[in-house]
């Protein structure tokens, strides 16, 4: 009898664990109801779709399930149900005959039972996002791109899910460093798996023009290439006379079409950016007559310094990188560019930049001054307003809408423009008050090219955006009508990033956190609950060969002066980590002093060393800071 009781106890315990096993998904769905049991994927599992519009998603699911399992699934059309009962071992994708208002165009319902999986949505996009959720329910080995070994089961669950925002984006800058076509497709595929639906493609800047414009061949013959340099961007040597520009590349129009199709298959809209009137050095190197100075010695910038920044947001350019707003030939040029861009990208938006436009050369140019006098302009900011309004009219003639960085508010915003607010949320608030749509992308939350860890551990950049900071971002400011906030996006500028591996390191896990921000309900946000979901995603990324940062485990050190005493406070983003430290030149570990209260740093040649542990094992990188460095951190 005792043995029977013990067996029953073990069965109840194990069953309970199975029922309470956490379901870790990114982004967090709207509603998740765990059920008892699991669905087992086998060689005999049937994948079916009920309408022709669902075929592409079903075939993609079959391929993704086949790659790691080796089962060779094929999707087939037709129901595998008898009445309301699904056939054993089946996965069925269906579009709702009566659309659900709750689900909208991108929502879905997913029911996993021991017998079958049923995924339904109003539109194929919803099926696609439901497929991504289903794939995350299987073991991490399901993310492998080669044959893997696992028990291919998914926990039983009922999920109802739909996005909070319609614009969920990630920007990739390919001007500062060129990324080959296959890298761009890889990046799009990765963000699509996280239910991002917008890929903002920064195609032109001072460091390279990356899109073929057939009517203006020098844009890529000249503008796509610069002299090779290695080192810290902004401190590199300028081009030498006669030096060959061999570093760079561009996308042909066939490349663009291929990437657009690839994105469309993954429900990702590509928003191309042609950055004007500033950030145009690559275009001016090809066609110097477009600038006020008409300097024929202008070269594509290789990462050398050509500006002085004054710390208050103002700056001075040493080289003219700005189009001439008073020259009608500039608008003829832009009409040619946007004609071909509009034909390549089927979405409604074209991003026209508008940021960091230096107007010093405009102030000295007779043509600009004559235009200002003719138009009764009070300042050169109004020249940019005039320019952007002209751009908007060009785009409207192509059937496109203008979106630009928040500087387009200065000098008078174009009537129907959408604003991308990057200098904080102030520009977005102003635009919304004026009745303009806004994409919130403030640098202090979503610039994922900025440091995510301590500057002594990661390559130092001018500022930091911690993972937890990104997770805590709220796109809708208080007092703003949410109808004007289309959503938000993460921005990856690549001055210091020249490989897809490094791009991934900077993107993840911050893009995982922001996936929650843009998709999940506002009231579902819970940092402590996000951490285990992130850690599950680490395992999936390992299987998929995706690079990511573990900076959130690293210790954080801040200092203050209390009188003449230097005091250090230690912390970590991840909750419940143990922090150990030393100031005696020994290596810290679990037998060193454990941090509990702020530490007074003695005078003299002292070095503070700090490391984080979890469950008796080191988990973060060791931080080593001399006393002089600690003093510099005093706030």
Domain boundary among 161, 189, 221: 161
Distance CA 197, CA 446 (A): 16
Q: Which of 444, 418, 510 is nearest to 196 (CA)?
A: 510
Residues 531 and 414 in one domain: yes
Instruction: Please write the tens of the pLDDT for every residue from 117-171.
Output: 999 999 999 999 999 999 999 999 999 999 999 999 999 999 999 999 999 999 9
Q: What DSSP state is assigned to residue 323?
A: B
Residues 251 and 108 in one domain: no
User: Would you state the pLDDT for residue 615?
Assistant: 96
Distance CA 267, CA 125 (A): 6
Residues 226 and 137 in one domain: no
Instruction: Please write the tens of the pLDDT for every residue from 29-77.
Output: 999 999 999 999 999 999 999 999 999 999 999 999 999 999 999 999 9
Report residue 568: phi and psi, to 5°. Answer: -110, 135
Residues 605 and 492 in one domain: no
Maximum distance among all alpha carbons in the chain?
Answer: 102
User: Would you state the pLDDT for residue 14?
Assistant: 39
Domain boundary among 141, 161, 181: 161
DSSP codes of every residue in 380-406: THHHHHHHHHHHHHHHHHTT-EEEEEG
Could you give the C-alpha distances from 553 to 400, 526, 534, 572, in angstroms and in order? 45, 18, 12, 7
User: Would you state the pLDDT for residue 22?
Assistant: 82
Instruction: Please write the tens of the pLDDT for every residue from 548-592.
Output: 999 999 999 999 999 999 999 999 999 999 999 999 999 999 999
Structural domain range at position 461: 167-419+445-548
Instruction: Please write the tens of the pLDDT for every residue from 121-135.
Output: 999 999 999 999 999
Question: Is residue 84 scored above 60 in pLDDT?
Answer: no
User: Would you state the pLDDT for residue 5?
Assistant: 40
Cis before 27? omega within 30 = yes
Report residue 105: phi and psi, to 5°. Answer: -85, -20
Question: Is residue 11 scored above 80 in pLDDT?
Answer: no
Number of domains in the chain: 3
Residues 231 and 126 in one domain: no
Q: Is the dihedral of CA 573, 578, 584, 587 positive or negative?
A: negative
Report residue 183: phi and psi, to 5°. Answer: -65, -40
In this prediction, residues 74-89 reach a mean pLDDT of 72
User: Would you state the pLDDT for residue 88?
Assistant: 74
Q: Confidence band (pLDDT; 50, 70, 90) for 89?
A: confident
The answer to whether the CB of 169 falls within 8 A of the CB of 196 is yes
Distance CA 541, CA 511 (A): 13
Task: Residue 471: count other Cβ atoms within 10 Å of its Cβ.
Answer: 23
CATH number, domain of 232, equals 3.20.20.80
On the 0-12 / 13-18 / 19+ scale of CB atoms within 10 A, 402 is buried
Q: Which of 177, 371, 209, 199 is nearest to 279 (CA)?
A: 209
For all residues of the chain together, what is the average pLDDT? Answer: 95
Six-digit token pair at 402? 């203008």
Residues 517 and 579 in one domain: no
**Which string of b and e fits 597-629 if b means at least 16 CB within 10 Å?**
eebebeeeebbbbbbbbeeeebbbbbbbbebee
Q: Confidence band (pLDDT; 50, 70, 90) for 313?
A: confident
User: Would you state the pLDDT for residue 86?
Assistant: 56
Residues 558 and 463 in one domain: no
Q: Among 356, 407, 504, 573, which one carries the catalytic annotation?
A: 356
Question: Measured at the alpha carbon of residue 379, what is the angle toward residues 378 and 382, in degrees to the nearest 5?
Answer: 95
Distance CA 279, CA 20 (A): 54
Distance CA 384, CA 368 (A): 11
Give 564's contacts (C-beta < 8 A, 6+ positions apart).
none
Question: Is residue 317 scored above 90 in pLDDT?
Answer: yes
Question: Is residue 4 scored above 90 in pLDDT?
Answer: no
Verify whether residue 63 is a known catalytic residue: no
Residues 585 and 526 in one domain: no
Six-digit token pair at 374? 């003719």
User: Would you state the pLDDT for residue 21?
Assistant: 59
Question: Is residue 232 scored above 50 in pLDDT?
Answer: yes
The answer to whether the CB of 583 falls within 8 A of the CB of 608 is yes
Inside any domain, residue 428: no
CATH number, domain of 55, equals 3.30.379.10
Q: What order of strands is seen across the sheet that includes strand 75-77?
A: 31-40, 153-161, 108-112, 116-121, 90-95, 46-49, 75-77
DSSP codes of every residue in 89-116: TEEEEEE-SS--TTTTTT-EEEEE-SSE
Q: CB-hemisphere CA count at 13 Å for 340?
A: 18
Inside any domain, residue 427: no
Residues 486 and 592 in one domain: no
The answer to whether the CB of 270 falls within 8 A of the CB of 257 is no
H-run or E-run covering 132: helix 124-137
In this prediction, residues 461-487 reach a mean pLDDT of 97
Q: Confidence band (pLDDT; 50, 70, 90) for 593?
A: very high
User: Would you state the pLDDT for residue 312?
Assistant: 85
User: Would you state the pLDDT for residue 224?
Assistant: 98
Question: Is residue 488 scored above 70 in pLDDT?
Answer: yes
Inside any domain, residue 19: no
Distance CA 87, CA 268 (A): 33
The answer to whether the CB of 468 falls within 8 A of the CB of 148 is no
User: Would you state the pLDDT for residue 16?
Assistant: 37
In this prediction, residues 99-117 reach a mean pLDDT of 97
Six-digit token pair at 543? 């299987």
Inside any domain, residue 101: yes
Give 421's contacts (C-beta < 8 A, 6+ positions apart).
406, 427, 428, 429, 431, 438, 439, 440, 441, 442
End-to-end alpha carbon distance in the chain: 68
Inside any domain, residue 171: yes
Distance CA 211, CA 275 (A): 12
Q: Of 6-20, 268-282, 481-495, which gets the smallest average pLDDT?
A: 6-20
Inside any domain, residue 334: yes
Could you give the C-alpha distances from 410 to 401, 420, 453, 553, 624, in angstroms and in order? 19, 13, 34, 41, 45
Residues 118 and 253 in one domain: no
Instruction: Please write the tens of the pLDDT for every residue from 505-560.
Output: 999 999 999 999 999 999 999 999 999 999 999 999 999 999 999 999 999 999 99
Distance CA 116, CA 95 (A): 17
């Amino acid at each position: 009898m005792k043995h029977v009781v013990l067996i029953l106890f073990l069965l109840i315990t194990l069953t309970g664990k199975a029922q309470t096993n956490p379901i870790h998904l990114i982004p967090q769905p709207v509603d998740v109801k765990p059920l008892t049991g699991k669905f087992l994927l086998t060689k005999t599992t049937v994948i079916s779709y009920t309408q022709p519009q669902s075929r592409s998603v079903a075939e993609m699911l079959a391929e993704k399930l086949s790659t790691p399992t080796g089962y060779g699934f094929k999707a087939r059309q037709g129901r595998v149900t008898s009445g309301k009962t699904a056939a054993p071992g089946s996965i069925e994708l269906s579009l709702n005959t009566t659309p659900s208002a709750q689900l909208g165009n991108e929502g879905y319902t997913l029911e996993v039972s021991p017998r079958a999986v049923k995924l339904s949505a109003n539109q194929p996009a919803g099926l696609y996002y439901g497929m991504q959720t289903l794939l995350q329910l299987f073991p991490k080995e399901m993310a492998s791109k080669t044959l893997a070994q696992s028990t291919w089961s998914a926990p039983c669950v009922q999920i109802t899910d739909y996005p909070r925002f319609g614009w969920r984006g990630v920007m990739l800058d390919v001007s500062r460093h060129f990324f080959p076509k296959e890298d761009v497709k890889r990046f799009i595929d990765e963000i699509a798996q996280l239910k991002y639906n917008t890929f903002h493609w920064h195609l032109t800047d001072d460091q390279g023009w990356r899109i073929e414009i057939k009517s203006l061949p020098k844009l890529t013959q000249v503008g796509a290439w610069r002299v090779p340099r290695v080192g810290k961007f902004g401190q590199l040597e300028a081009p030498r006379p006669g030096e060959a520009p061999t570093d760079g590349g561009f996308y042909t129009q066939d490349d663009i079409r291929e990437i657009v199709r690839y994105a469309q298959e993954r429900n990702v809209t590509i928003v191309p950016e042609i950055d004007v009137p500033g950030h145009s050095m690559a275009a001016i190197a090809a066609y110097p007559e477009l600038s006020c100075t008409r300097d024929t010695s202008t070269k594509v910038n290789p990462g050398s310094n050509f500006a002085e920044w004054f710390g208050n947001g103002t700056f001075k350019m040493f080289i003219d990188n700005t189009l001439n707003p008073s020259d009608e030939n500039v608008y003829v040029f832009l009409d040619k560019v946007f004609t071909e861009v509009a034909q390549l990208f089927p979405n409604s938006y074209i991003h026209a930049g508008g940021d960091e436009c230096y107007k010093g050369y405009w102030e000295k140019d007779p043509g600009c001054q004559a235009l200002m006098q003719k138009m009764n302009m009070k300042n050169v900011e109004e020249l940019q307003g005039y320019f952007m309004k002209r751009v908007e009219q060009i785009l409207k003639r192509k059937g496109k809408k203008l979106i630009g960085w928040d500087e387009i508010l200065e000098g008078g915003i174009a009537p129907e423009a959408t604003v991308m607010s990057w200098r904080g949320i102030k520009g977005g608030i102003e635009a919304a008050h004026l009745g303009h749509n806004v994409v919130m992308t403030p640098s202090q939350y979503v610039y994922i090219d900025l440091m995510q860890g301590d500057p002594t551990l990661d390559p130092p950049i001018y500022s930091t955006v911690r993972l937890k900071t990104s997770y805590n971002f709220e796109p809708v400011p208080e007092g703003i009508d949410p109808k004007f906030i289309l959503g938000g996006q993460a921005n990856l500028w690549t001055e210091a990033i020249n490989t897809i591996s490094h791009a991934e390191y900077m993107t993840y896990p911050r893009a995982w956190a922001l996936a929650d921000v843009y998709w999940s309900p506002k009231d579902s946000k819970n940092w402590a609950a996000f951490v285990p979901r992130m850690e599950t995603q680490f395992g999936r990324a390992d299987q998929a060969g995706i690079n990511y940062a573990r900076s959130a485990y690293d210790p954080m050190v801040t200092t203050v002066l209390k009188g003449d005493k230097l005091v250090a406070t230690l912390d970590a983003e991840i909750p419940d980590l143990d922090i150990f430290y030393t100031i005696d030149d020994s290596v810290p570990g679990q037998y060193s002093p454990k941090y509990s209260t702020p530490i007074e740093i003695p005078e003299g040649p002292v070095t503070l060393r700090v490391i984080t542990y979890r469950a008796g094992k080191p988990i973060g990188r060791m931080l080593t800071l001399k006393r002089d460095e600690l003093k510099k951190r005093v706030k």
